[in-house]
Amino acid sequence: MNNTYKISVLPGDGIGPEVTNETVKVLKACAERFNFKLDFDTQLIGAVSIDKTGIPLTDEVVESCLASDVTLLGAIEDSKYDSDPILEVRPEEGLLKLRQSLGLYANIRAVEISNSSIEQSPLKSAVVDGTDIVIFRELTGGIYSGKKELTTKKDSDFCEYSVSEIERMAHLAFKAAEDRSGRLCLVGKANVLENSRLWRKVVTEIAFDYPDVELTYMYVDNASMQLVSNPKQFDVILTENMFGDILSDLASVLSGSLGRLASSSIGNSAALFESYQDSYSQLKGLNKANPIATILSGALLLDYLGEKEGAKEIIKAVSWTIKEGLSTENVNLNNPISCSSVGNNVVDYIRKKGKMSAIKLVDVEENFLYR
C-alpha cells in the first residue's frame, strides 16, 4: 500500500506562490516515480491573508497545518506594510503565530558552498571554498516572542528564555555536531546580556554529555565578522532567536544568492520547510524568481517524511541544473531562464532518472504539461 502524506502549502506573498508552485511540481514528480501519494492543502498566510480575512493567519489555517504531516511555506512580507511603523497588524505576525501554534522551536539552516556556486559568492573563492555550516536557531523564545509593551511611558520588547528552551536546542545542535566534524560554536553576547549568560551556563553543562564535541564560544559581533572573513572555521553554530535570524541571513550571502538555500523548522510533532529568501515583491508575477531554495526545502521535506530516495533525487536534479547553467537571472546573468523553466528542468530530470539529452527545457510555454 502506498504511503500518503498530507502537505499544507502556504504560498504567502510576493514570489512565494511562484516558488512553491515549482516545488509542488517537483514533489509530484517524485511521488509518481517513487510510488507514494501527496495530498496538498493550499491555505493563506501573510499579507494575502490580511487582505482577505483581516488577520495574517486564521485559526482555520493553523488547524489545517496541525492536521497535516508537514507544511511547505513560500514567503511572507509585503512592502505596503513596511512604510507604516505603527500598523497593528503585519504579515510577519502570521509566521510567528504559526511557529508558536505548531511548536516549531528549532530552525535549521545550512550553508554549503559547492564548486558550482563559488563563482556566485561576493567573497573570494579562497575564503568561501569548502564552507559547510549548519546554524541552529532557537525559534520560539527571545525578543521575537517575548512580551511586548507599547505605552506613552514605556516601549519594551522582553528577551526571555527558560532553561528547558535552551536545553532542547542544545541537544539538537550537539547531536548534529557529533555526526559532523565534532565542533560546536555557541554564539551570544554573554559580556552584556543576562540571557546569553544563561545560554552559556546551560550549554556548558550539557557539553559533558557530548565528550566528542568541542564547544567554543563567540560574541555575536565577532561571529558576524568571522563569517565573512573566515567562514570555514565554523561547522555547527548554536544561537538564540534574534542572533540566529541575523547570522543565518548573513551566512546565506556566502553562496551569492538567498534563492539557493533551504531551511527547516521542527518541533516535537510538526515540521515546516521554507527557503531563506524573502518575498522579493519586485519580482512578483514576473516568473523570474529563483525556486531552487524552495525546491531544496522540498527535498528536506521528503527526507523528514522518510522518502529518502525522492529527497536524494531532488538534490541530484538541482545539482544538474546548476552545473548546466539552467538558472534564473540572479545566478545566470548571460543566459537566464524563467522560474517555471527551472522547475520544469528539475521535473524532467526526475522523470527521466537523470538520463538527460543535450536539449534542455528552456521555453516554459512549451512545457505546460508539468502544470
> Which range scores top for mean pLDDT: 16-30, 92-106, 128-142?
16-30
The three three-digit cell numbers of residue 324, written as one number = 548546466
Give the pLDDT of residue 253. Answer: 81
Same domain, 78 and 93: yes
Give the pLDDT of residue 239. Answer: 98
Q: Choose between 57 and 152: higher pLDDT.
A: 57
pLDDT, tens digit, 9 for 90 and up, residues 247-306: 998 888 887 655 567 899 999 899 999 987 677 888 898 999 999 999 999 999 999 999
Same domain, 113 and 242: yes
pLDDT, tens digit, 9 for 90 and up, residues 308-340: 999 999 999 998 998 888 988 877 778 899 999
- Whether residue 117 is predicted with pLDDT greater than 80 in this model: the reply is no
Same domain, 115 and 259: yes
Q: Choose between 327 and 48: higher pLDDT.
A: 48
Domain coverage including residue 154: 108-263
Phi-psi region of 12 (alpha: psi -120 to 50; beta: other; left: phi over 0): left
Same domain, 256 and 273: no
Same domain, 129 and 240: yes
Do the strands 271-275 and 262-266 form a parallel or antiparallel pair, or are they unpaired? Answer: antiparallel
Mean pLDDT along residues 90-111: 92
Give the pLDDT of residue 365. Answer: 37
Do the strands 106-112 and 132-138 form a parallel or antiparallel pair, or are they unpaired? Answer: antiparallel
pLDDT, tens digit, 9 for 90 and up, residues 137-155: 999 888 877 666 655 556 7
Same domain, 81 and 178: no
Phi-psi region of 264 (alpha: psi -120 to 50; beta: other; left: phi over 0): beta
Catalytic residue from among 28, 189, 232, 316: 189
Check which CATH number belongs to the domain holding 225 and give it.
3.40.718.10
Give the pLDDT of residue 369. Answer: 32
Give the pLDDT of residue 201. Answer: 97
Give the pLDDT of residue 155. Answer: 72
Spatial separation of the C-alpha atoms in residues 298 and 205, rounded to whole Å: 36
Give the pLDDT of residue 371. Answer: 27
Do the strands 132-138 and 236-239 form a parallel or antiparallel pair, or are they unpaired? Answer: parallel
Per DSSP, 299 falls in state H
The set of residues, in sequence order, having a beta carbon less than 8 Å from that of 89 and lying 6+ positions away, is: 50, 54, 55, 56
Domain limit, last residue, from 263, 291, 322:
263
- Whether residue 113 is predicted with pLDDT greater than 80 in this model: the reply is no
pLDDT, tens digit, 9 for 90 and up, residues 230-243: 999 999 999 999 99
Give the pLDDT of residue 61. Answer: 97
| Residue 348 falls in the annotated catalytic set | no
Q: How confident is the model at residue 367 (pLDDT cuts 50, 70, 90)?
A: very low
- Whether residue 88 is predicted with pLDDT greater than 70 in this model: the reply is yes
- Whether residue 370 is predicted with pLDDT greater than 70 in this model: the reply is no
| Residue 189 falls in the annotated catalytic set | yes
Q: How confident is the model at residue 364 (pLDDT cuts 50, 70, 90)?
A: very low
Phi and psi for 266 in degrees, rounded to 5? -125, 155
Give the pLDDT of residue 226. Answer: 96
Domain limit, last residue, from 199, 230, 263:
263
Same domain, 259 and 116: yes
Catalytic residue from among 105, 144, 276, 280: 144
Give the pLDDT of residue 244. Answer: 95
Q: Whose grid coordinates read 498530507? A: 6
**If DSSP codes are grouped into helix, strand and coil, which group holds residue 4?**
strand
Q: Which of 109-113, 191-195, 229-233, 290-294 has the lowest mean pLDDT?
A: 109-113
Catalytic residue from among 39, 221, 323, 353: 221
Catalytic residue from among 69, 132, 157, 249: 249
Q: How confident is the model at residue 368 (pLDDT cuts 50, 70, 90)?
A: very low
Mean pLDDT along residues 341-367: 73
pLDDT, tens digit, 9 for 90 and up, residues 215-229: 999 999 999 999 999
Distance of CA 54 to the CA centre of its chain: 27
Give the pLDDT of residue 115. Answer: 63
- Whether residue 26 is predicted with pLDDT greater than 50 in this model: the reply is yes
Nearest C-alpha neighbor of 25 from the set 356, 346, 355 = 346
Same domain, 276 and 204: no
Domain limit, last residue, from 213, 244, 263:
263
Sequence-distant contacts of 201-209: CB under 8 A, at least 24 apart? 202/163, 202/166, 202/167, 202/170, 203/166, 203/170, 203/238, 206/167, 206/170, 206/171, 206/174, 207/174, 209/174
| Residue 303 falls in the annotated catalytic set | no
Mean pLDDT of the chain: 88
Same domain, 141 and 240: yes
Tell me how many degrees the CA angle 160-166-172 measures, rounded to the nearest 5: 145
Catalytic residue from among 13, 235, 245, 348: 245
Phi and psi for 115 in degrees, rounded to 5? -60, -35
Q: Supply the DSSP string of 316-341, one letter for each residue.
A: HHHHHHHHTT---TTT-SSS---HHH
Same domain, 57 and 30: yes
Number of domains the chain is built from: 2
Same domain, 96 and 143: no
Same domain, 292 and 230: no
Model-wide pTM > 0.95: no
**If DSSP codes are grouped into helix, strand and coil, which group holds residue 137?**
strand
Q: Choose between 295 and 158: higher pLDDT.
A: 295
